[in-house]
A and B are shown apart, each in its own frame.
Chain A
Amino acid sequence: MFLIHCPYCNEEREQEEFSPAGEAFIARPVEPEGISDEAWADYVFYRTNHKGYHWEQWVHSNGCRKYFMVERSTITHEILKVAAFGADISE
């Protein structure tokens, strides 16, 4: 029951307004037909499932409906950063 700052609404809102949408940075292969079954399976099924801070996707499903990225600890649920897609997340 944490709070998430929606980078589009620019407001901190209750988690229940949002829906989680899995790990971030799992890019769809550009040429799916050109890669091996293993590489395809890695994209579709395999996950890092990191314990600690990781980037993940959320969607403000009961709000602006925008997808964005969140750097959150899977241990404490603490959120370090949020970012719109395409935003610079290095720092």
Chain B
Amino acid sequence: MQKKYSWYSLLKAGLSGQDWDQAIPLVEPKSKYDVIIVGGGGHGLATAYYLAKECGITNIAVLEKGYIGGGNTARNTTIIRSNYLRDEASSLYEHAMKLWEGISEDLNFNVMFSQRGVYNLGHTLQDMRDIERRVNANVLNGIDAQVVTAKEIKEQIPIINTSQNARYPIMGSSYQPRGGVARHDGVAWGFARAAAMLGVDIIQDCEVVGIEVEEGRVKGVKTTRGDIMADRIGCVSAGHSSVLAKMAGLRLPIESHPLQAFVSEAMKPVLHTVVMSNAVHGYISQSDKGDLVIGAGIDGYSSYAQRGASRVIEHSAAAILEMFPIFSRVRMNRQWGGIVDVCPDACPIISPTKVQGLYFNCGWGTGGFKATPGSGHVFAHTIAQDKQHPLAVPFHLDRFTTGALIDEHGAAGVAH
């Protein structure tokens, strides 16, 4: 059996026909664990991995109601960047970025993290002020960030439309060279395989249907595959966080919304970087396979249905054509939706709760994928020590009561 991935092992396997170890072994749930992670997406698997790797806890179960990486991880446009406005947020995302930069080696699994740079376009004077502010904040925090002019964007991305005939002409952008994309499925599988190798049980088709709480302490979970005990439970279930919270008698400051995306048919490479525009709601990159991967805006109503209004897709296509008119005759191959857990201040919750031993990692909204390793890392430490990791402190649930919101939204709206 081949365990470690390398050129040598590939050669050996190719010559000998020897098999690979199971990346995701099939295991039966035990009756008790030290820690249960509810949710086998990227964040949950990363949490389990770092718990096992860095916190000395290996008696862990990751419970996934479907297949691992099958929720928002599987539905992602995979943009990775850390150029956030607020220090609290950028510190967390930069922590993730640094982990991304070594993640494939760390996991011994190529998650195809590709630092092809990320442009955040500005279309108005206020957009440009906000970009200047954010870029300056990033640079002061040691994060690579630049302000680039429309002319420079055009030099780097010759196919982009910087002319004045767009409804909202491009005025400039921020640019983070270290930003990029990764192979979404690979991220989930890489963490799963690495966690499993450290002894973590990854249990699929196992839905949590109840959380047992006694005298303010968590005791375990009821699942479709029986009761499982643990006195520490981390919930990392994105759009379904409120459902889990309810099982423990809690409410969260979260709403679940559809977030849609679509891909084109694969073409030869034409877009080498990632381009985002919040103003017109279009987010685009080209995958290694050649398809254009496009993120749309959030649907405004709450939903657990993993589908949204076609109007949102149409608007995103229009936004993409405003930026890239040459894509008009390129065809959408497939569209889909995820369920994003949206927090009022557009920042996550990485926090203990009123129930002792019950922790939540949620509220990532549209920003979850890029934080995957960082989120798992700080959450693992938070669970292991029953004390928030320093980078997670600002993301306590209490902030909605104490008023210490982080407000990554920035400007509430353009005005004058």
Residues of A within 8 A of B (CB): 1, 15-16, 19-20, 22-23, 37-38, 41-42, 44-51, 54, 56, 58, 72, 74-77
CA distance A46 to B250 in the complex (A): 10
- Beyond A1-B310, A45-B344, 18 additional contacts (C-beta under 8 Å) are A1-B309, A15-B309, A16-B309, A19-B300, A20-B302, A23-B255, A37-B402, A37-B403, A44-B400, A46-B251, A46-B252, A47-B251, A48-B242, A48-B251, A49-B252, A51-B304, A75-B304, A76-B305
B300/A51 in contact, CB under 8 A:
no
Residue of A nearest to B309 (CB): A1
Chain B count of residues within 8 A CB distance of the other chain: 24
A-B contact pairs, 12 of them (CB 8 A): A1-B310, A20-B301, A20-B302, A37-B401, A45-B400, A47-B252, A49-B302, A51-B242, A51-B256, A74-B256, A75-B305, A77-B305
Chain A residues near B242 (CB-CB < 8 A): 47-51
Closest to B250 in A: A46
- Taken together as a complex, chains A and B put the C-alpha atoms of A66 and B303 apart, in Å, by 22
- In angstroms, Cα B242 to Cα A1, docked, is 24
Q: From A45, which residue of chain B is reached at the shortest CB distance?
A: B253
Cβ contact within 8 Å between A74 and B401: no
B143 CB-CB contact with A under 8 Å? no
At the interface, is chain A mostly helix, strand, loop or mixed? mixed
Q: How many A-B residue pairs have CB under 8 A?
A: 66
User: When A and B form their complex, which 9 residue pairs have the shortest distance between CB atoms, in order from nearest?
Assistant: A49-B242, A20-B301, A45-B253, A41-B401, A45-B400, A20-B300, A46-B251, A41-B400, A51-B304
CB proximity of A40 to chain B, nearest CB, Å? 8
Among A20, A46, A50, the most chain B Cβ lie within 10 Å of the Cβ of A46
CB distance from B105 to the nearest CB of A (A): 39
Distance in Å: Cβ of B408 to nearest Cβ of chain A: 15
Q: How far is the CB of B38 from chain A (nearest CB, A)?
A: 15
